[in-house]
Amino acid sequence: MMPKFFTPSEVAESLKVSEQTVRRWLREGKIGGVKLSLGARSEWRISEDQFNEFIQERTIPKRKEK
């Protein structure tokens, strides 16, 4: 089965952040993605696995109640 890919805009909408923020994370390597060359321009795509990994790495575990 083919992996699902998201655009920076879709990730930004899901996380309620700006698209600029997602693009910065991509450039800084904070979230994994692939940069597709489309002639004179290029576009980022983030796989569902990369998106889920990004979320998991930043999820704060629940504190255990005593």
Confidence at residue 39, expressed as pLDDT on a 0 to 100 scale:
82
Q: What is the pLDDT of residues 10-44, one digit of tens each?
A: 999 999 999 999 999 999 999 999 999 888 889 99
Higher pLDDT, 38 or 47: 47
Token pair 């998106």 is found at: 51
Residues 48-57: what's their mean pLDDT?
96
Question: In one letter, which amino acid is 26?
Answer: L
CA distance linking residue 19 with residue 40, whole number of Å? 21
Confidence at residue 18, expressed as pLDDT on a 0 to 100 scale:
98
pTM, two decimal places = 0.83
Cβ burial, residue 36 (10 Å; 0-12/13-18/19+)? exposed
CA distance linking residue 48 with residue 62, whole number of Å? 24
